Amino acid sequence: MRTLEETLRLLRERFANGWSRELVAPGSMSLTVSLSPPDARTIVTRRDDVDRWADDWYDWADRAEGVTLTEITRPKTAFGPVTVPARLDFATVGALAAIDDGDRATWAIAGARWTELGALGFRPQHRIASILALAEPDFRLAVAAAVFFRENPRSGLLPRAVPIEGMHTKWLARNRGRVLALLGSDDTADITEDDLDQRDLDALGLVVPPAQADLILCDPADRARVGGVRHLRAPVDELAALPVAPARVLVVENKESAFVLGDVPGLVIIHSLGNNVRPLGLLPWVLSAEVVYWGDLDRAGLTLLSRARAILPRLSSVLMDTSTFARHRHLAVPDATRADPPEDTLTPAELDALAVVAEGPHRLEQERLGHAVAVEALAAALRLQSKVSSSSSGTSTPAATSSSVTRSTMSAAGSPSS
């Protein structure tokens, strides 16, 4: 026999665990609970206990609203047929919530907010309870932020420059995941620290101050001019003044993939720009170089490629085509993240790749391709840029030297033909 206290605790737990799912899928929450009624033997051997238990439930049911107490009759007892409470049936989720004043308030507020979000076109699939249970000022800020970022997906603003009254960087860090959930993203992690880095802001179309970039100086001569430093991270205006003049620049989306090449005379690698590709147009030595772009083979990666080419129209891509995806499809994973449409700068081959990865949609991260595959493709692409440059003066490099180029690029001390 379930006691009154035990059953009400069970029902409160059921409500706490299921009310957000009920909003998304009405009818998903069970509104019936068994009271585990006594059998005939228990009625006979514990008659006083059964009577007190039954009285508790009849008294409670008389006071409750929207609840039906269903009985069951045990016909064969020493006392003849005995009727006892058997189960509770709640007419609505609201009736279930009403057994606790706090749950009643939660359900009323959540229902009103869910209706409001639907009217605004927001139907989050993640963090629902977390969003709807926000304090009123935070909920208003979250909605205002979602509306702003939906209307301005690539504003390029600093977090503090977002024109939403009451929003500050710490609030955005703590509520980033809720805002993205409202926008339909599955990237719904909040940031535990107060600082937001560029990767945290990419999905919101924001940038961090000041604009910085990460470089790898692959040319030993360039490193000698800056005290032997190979890896640099600095504000863009400082990097613009570097005493370098690379013939080729490789732009790599992710940090890990930027380390596959060794020493290559005339090459600088720029990596980890994320959504903030503007530095490409602010570095004078990039504007005068041949530029190759390598990123993830997914919708977001191709969008970033398109934005980079909007700044550098002559930029080419490598390992971002349908053949690469076909060879490594088994390494791709589902991609449920929100992705902005690309700029109108993709080549026909890149558009074909976009169509293929969008079918899943799929994500083939560049790190998954493997070192040897990456080195071979990068060596060929970088030599191609050099070959185009040389061919205009009638000194193109023969194609037969391709294997030596790949081997020397893999060597920490080697260099490709140029």
Give the tens place of pLDDT for each residue, 60-96: 999 999 999 999 998 876 778 889 999 999 999 999 9
Give the pLDDT mean for 214-231. Answer: 96
Q: Extract the runs of DSSP E, i.e. beta strands, from 30-100.
A: 32-34, 67-74, 82-90
Cα separation, 283 vs 262, in Å, equals 23
Helices marked H in 255-342 = 284-287, 299-311, 322-327
Instruction: Give φ, ψ of 121 to 5 degrees.
Output: 90, 15
* Tokens 């690029």 sit on residue: 409
Instruction: Give φ, ψ of 295 to 5 degrees.
Output: -140, -175
Is the confidence at residue 58, as pLDDT, over 60? yes
Beta bridge partners of 212: 235
CA-based torsion, 125, 131, 132, 137: positive or negative: negative
Measured CA to CA in angstroms, residue 329 lies from 52, 61, 358, 375 at distances of: 67, 60, 13, 19
Measured CA to CA in angstroms, residue 49 lies from 9, 42, 43 at distances of: 21, 9, 8
* Tokens 């029902």 sit on residue: 11
53: amino acid identity, one letter: W
Give the per-residue pLDDT at 394.
Answer: 33
Cα separation, 50 vs 354, in Å, equals 69
Cα separation, 409 vs 187, in Å, equals 37
Give the per-residue pLDDT at 41.
Answer: 87
Confidence of residue 404 (pLDDT cuts 50, 70, 90): very low
CB 284 within 8 A of CB 312: no
Give the pLDDT mean for 15-34. Answer: 94
325: amino acid identity, one letter: F
Q: How many CB atoms lie within 10 A of CB 22?
A: 20
CB 179 within 8 A of CB 146: yes
Q: What is the pLDDT of residues 120-141, one digit of tens each?
A: 999 998 999 999 999 999 999 9
Confidence of residue 409 (pLDDT cuts 50, 70, 90): very low
Cα separation, 45 vs 36, in Å, equals 17
219: amino acid identity, one letter: D
Give the per-residue pLDDT at 192.
Answer: 62
Tell me the helices (H) and strands (E) count for the chain, helix number first: 17, 11
290: amino acid identity, one letter: E
Cα separation, 154 vs 279, in Å, equals 16
Give the per-residue pLDDT at 374.
Answer: 94
Cα separation, 340 vs 338, in Å, equals 7
Q: In the chain, what percentage of residues exceed pLDDT 70?
A: 90
User: What is the pTM for the complete model shown?
Assistant: 0.55
Is the confidence at residue 322, as pLDDT, over 80? yes
Give the pLDDT mean for 161-185. Answer: 91
Q: Extract the runs of DSSP E, i.e. beta strands, from 51-183.
A: 67-74, 82-90
Confidence of residue 193 (pLDDT cuts 50, 70, 90): low
Give the pLDDT mean for 400-410. Answer: 33
Beta bridge partners of 156: none
Cα separation, 155 vs 148, in Å, equals 10
Q: In the chain, what are the domain boundaries? A: 4-101, 120-202, 212-372
Q: What is the CATH number of domain 212-372?
A: 3.40.1360.10
Is the confidence at residue 399, as pLDDT, over 80? no
Cα separation, 318 vs 350, in Å, equals 10
CA dihedral 3→6→11→12, nearest 10 degrees, is 140
- Is residue 317 helix, strand or coil? strand
- Enclosing H/E stretch for 104: helix 101-119
Q: What is the pLDDT of residues 236-288, one digit of tens each?
A: 999 999 999 999 999 999 999 999 999 999 999 999 998 889 899 999 999 99
- Is residue 189 helix, strand or coil? coil
Give the per-residue pLDDT at 339.
Answer: 78
| Averaged pLDDT score across all residues of the chain | 87
DSSP label at 236?
H
| Candidate from 35-49, 187-201, 313-327, 332-346 with smallest mean pLDDT | 187-201
Confidence of residue 54 (pLDDT cuts 50, 70, 90): very high
Cα separation, 317 vs 287, in Å, equals 16
Closest CA to 279 of 308, 316, 246: 308
Closest CA to 261 of 320, 318, 197, 213: 318
Structure token digits, residue 43: 């009625």
